[in-house]
Amino acid sequence: MKLLLAASLLLCPGYVLAQDGNKEPVAVVEFGASPSRNLTDHQSGFGPSVAVEVTPIEKWLELEAGVTPSFSRQATEWDTDLLFKKPWTFSPKVEFMAGFGPEWIHTSESGLTRNSLGGEAVLDFMFWPGRKHKLGWYVEPGYEYNFGRGHEQSIGVSAGLLIAIDKR
């Protein structure tokens, strides 16, 4: 039942407004901060986050590639992800996206380095105060599952500034 609901949300945009193709930027750059909590060993981390988002299929697909280093007392973790998102425009100033994708996780802990693959799911809320969508802000809660040793799971939220790169 949940799978059917999720599929219908992704495939049937319902009453949300269509995005205006003439105002779509070439890319949107995200700069933010990202606190996270490992659900497996209950460690917390914090670090900066940077990502670039492009729209290959208007109203249907956004691609986001990002990097987030996370620093905790005992480890440093670098997460590099590629997310596939379905966008919805609720108003001229509010957008929402749900997405998922693969993630490469590089961890340094106690002198040991590990690399593993993982998966990530996010909800992305974007707010554009101005009419031209030049600058905005975002909040992106997410869930991560590490397929490597320990099968770690974590939750986090990334929040920060949006900068639209216009067509020239």
**pLDDT tens across 72-96, in order?**
988 899 999 999 999 999 999 999 9
Whole domain around residue 118: which residue ranges? 2-165
* E runs forming strands in the chain: 27-38, 44-57, 61-71, 75-91, 94-109, 112-127, 135-146, 153-165
Cα distance between residue 131 and residue 150, in whole Å: 47
Domain count, the chain: 1
The predicted-structure confidence for 96-113, as pLDDT tens digits, reads as follows 999 999 999 999 988 899
Ranges of residues in the chain whose predicted pLDDT is under 50: 1-21
Query: What distance, in Å, lies between the first and last C-alpha atoms of the chain?
Result: 45
114-128 CB burial, b ≥16 within 10 A, e <16: eebebebebebebeb
CATH of the domain at 96: 2.40.160.20
